[in-house]
Amino acid sequence: MTNNKQIYDLAIVGGSIVGVTLACALKNSGLTVALIEAQPKSVAVARRQAYALSILSERIFTGIGVWDKILPQITSFREIRLSDAEHKGIVQFKLADLGTEALGYVGEHRPLLSSLQEFLADCPHVTWLCPAEVVEVEYQASGAKIQLKADGILTQLRTRLVVAADGARSRLRTAAGIGTHGWKYWQSCITARIKPEKSNNTAFERFWPGGPMGVLPLPNNRYQVVWTASHTEARKLKDLAEKEFLELLEHRTGGLLGRLELEGDRLLFPVQLMQSDRYIQSRLALIGDAAHCCHPVGGQGLNMGIRDAAALAQILQEAHQQGEDIGTVRVLKRYERWRKWENLVILAFTDTLNRMFSNNWLPVVGIRRIGLWMLRRIRPVKIYALQLMTGLKGRPPKLVQLGRNN
């Protein structure tokens, strides 16, 4: 039976990077936040993933005040090389194209999430409920009641707003009856970490008929490989003998990294595109993968979620300052109008890239070669594409300006 009650302004369900980013962005907002995570913190940080971080994500984390903790533990890339298989027409994006200190960053899950967790350590307005499982949510006109289970004990809390940051298979989204649309691709991704003979601050995106392959620099002279291929080919790549896998990877990287060594196991996961029919309803908002999922080409997924968190934090803080009820549809619609359509642009962009380059149909090959020529030769086209990839298109959250003023 329930043994106590707690009251918060909002409850964030999901203590991974996007959910914790939202809590960090609200650290000084005056709102009381419950951060609910099913796993212990030590388990939540232990995932073997790495992410591309865009320039906009860097500016959001700077505005929050956590970037100085993150930067020493990740790496930056100063050049992006985009190529179509063996075609010689390589597109090179360089620092001078944007006038920034980097074109992007790559960070591993553990240091990213650990830095965010540490940032909240001294915050009296954020309460970790971890590990704790959400058993049931009852939405009411004035708020929501959440029943939690921790160590076999049921606890009930009340909140004005529930934020679902519980991933692509969001139980909160499903329980609320919010549908999704999209599709599963004919592809899966193989991820692997390698140690190259040659190292540089360059990110590679190479397109092959089976799918794109991203190669991103990591700290300590390592690279993260995200290799998309058909389900059948991906399974073969995962099971391929290590020597053969590395020889094929050396060929696919054009020898630019020299001899390669494999670090750890290869992981396999399917690829999908998903957009929720709506991002909000009364007393509920969806962020990150609970709201949308995209193809991994271009490394946009986590960055979309970070932007969701920054946008929602801004909307909630402004509403709170104006004395509005943060859980009403009237307030939450501002977040949905902002993020749903911007995310749709990225979903369409990544889907088009994948479909245009993942085939050998001659008319499409001709069109994409023209596109690559335009990126090389027509500077406004090149800059627009780069701004889209780095998050510099669209409406920036106020955290970005805050970071620039600090």
Question: Using CA atoms, how far apart are residues 260 and 243, in angstroms rounded to an integer?
Answer: 10
In tens, the pLDDT along 376-397 reads 999 999 999 999 999 999 899 9
* Domains of the chain with CATH codes: 2-74+109-182+273-405 (3.50.50.60), 185-272 (3.30.9.10)
Question: Using CA atoms, how far apart are residues 34 and 158, in angstroms rounded to an integer?
Answer: 10
Q: Could you tell me the two tokens for 324?
A: 């509005």
Question: Using CA atoms, how far apart are residues 238 and 259, in angstroms rounded to an integer?
Answer: 19
Say what the pLDDT of residue 2 is.
Answer: 38
In tens, the pLDDT along 121-178 reads 989 999 999 999 999 999 999 999 999 999 889 999 999 999 999 999 999 999 999 9
Q: Could you tell me the two tokens for 153?
A: 């004990």
151 or 32, which is more confident: 32
Say what the pLDDT of residue 1 is.
Answer: 30
Q: What is the DSSP letter of 289?
A: G
State the DSSP string of 148-192: EEETTEEEEEEEEEEEE-S-TT-HHHHHTT--EEEEEEEEEEEEE
| 404 — pLDDT class (breaks 50, 70, 90) | low
Task: Label the pairing between strands 284-286 and 153-164.
Answer: parallel
CB atoms within 10 A of CB 191: 20
Q: Could you tell me the two tokens for 232?
A: 């059948």
* Whether the Cβ atoms of residue 33 and residue 301 lie closer than 8 Å to each other: no
Average pLDDT, the chain: 93
- Share above pLDDT 90 across residues of the chain, in percent, rounded to a whole number: 84
3-state class (DSSP) for residue 35:
strand
| Cβ neighbourhood burial of 231 (10 Å; 0-12, 13-18, 19+) | middle
3-state class (DSSP) for residue 99:
coil
Residue-wise over 381-397: b if at least 16 C-beta within 10 A, else e? Answer: ebeebbbbbbbbbbebb
Q: In whole angstroms, how far apart are CA 109 and each of 40, 106, 203?
A: 15, 10, 18
CA-based torsion, 207, 223, 114, 53: positive or negative:
negative
* Whether the Cβ atoms of residue 173 and residue 290 lie closer than 8 Å to each other: yes
| 3 — pLDDT class (breaks 50, 70, 90) | very low
